[in-house]
Amino acid sequence: GRTLFGAKPPRGQELEDHYFGAIRPRVAAYMKDLDETLWALGVLSKTKHNEVAPAQHEMAPVFSDANSACDQNQLAMEMMKKVADRHGLVCLLHEKPFAGVNGSGKHDNWSLSTDTGKNLFKPGSTPRQNAQFLLFLAAFIKGVDDYQEFLRATVAFPGNDHRLGAQEAPPAVLSIFLGDELSAVVDSIINDTDFQSTGKRTL
């Protein structure tokens, strides 16, 4: 559910004691029970920490093949609610249950590997030695450009609209950010010019 009214959070959510603080004992007990419940179902989860909003927390399942990961994702969300109920808690997975405060989100990290486990998105040791990586990178960029409407449709539903506009990390624009050096490599290929590495730098 969602609240109908409420107070807005401090500007910029400067109260970071929750994000950097220790997980509260009651929540830690819930997370431990959740881990053991998921492990019994064959869903491997690991990282647990506080998130930005009050009473917001994160769990990270261990990566798997795409089909298994999708099934495990559904199991994890179901178990989060069931285990929360056992602990007298309520697990809210709505994108924005409280107006003006971060809601539930999800990072989908993925890679492309061969049947022998070779990561096709792993760069070579030098720009000249990573032709395979650049080939698959170009194919990925082309795919995002060609099928952007389908990709946007995966998140274009009413609930997700509540997340956009403020207090949230994801923008309303679908984009690819390669970083300065990799962008320069791609530009040198497009323009048929020699790539000049800037070398390692300290920020």
Per-residue pLDDT of the chain (203 residues; tens, 9 = 90+): 666 666 666 655 555 667 778 889 999 999 999 999 999 999 998 878 888 778 889 988 888 888 999 999 999 999 999 999 999 999 998 887 877 777 787 877 888 888 898 888 888 887 666 888 999 999 999 999 999 888 888 777 777 777 665 555 555 667 788 888 888 888 988 998 888 777 766 65
Quick check: is 98 in a domain? no
> Is 104 within a domain?
no
Boundary (domain end) residue, out of 71, 86, 101: 86
Residue 130, C-beta contacts closer than 8 angstroms, at least 6 positions apart: 123, 124
Range of the domain at 38: 11-86
Dist. CA 152–CA 147, nearest whole Å: 9
CA distance 196 to 40: 52
Contact 9, 19 (CB under 8 A): no
Given 86, 101, 135, the domain boundary residue is 86
The answer to whether residue 174 sits within a structural domain is yes
Same domain, 147 and 77: no
The number of distinct structural domains making up the chain is: 2
Same structural domain, 130 and 176: yes
State the pTM of this model: 0.75
Q: Please indicate, yes or no, whether residues 121 and 64 belong to a single structural domain of this protein.
A: no
* Residue 62 and residue 132 share a domain: no
In a shared domain, residues 65 and 118: no
C-alpha distance from residue 26 to each of 22, 31, 32, 60, 89 (Å): 12, 9, 10, 19, 9
Asked if 76 and 16 sit in the same domain, the reply is yes
Indicate whether 5 belongs to any domain: no
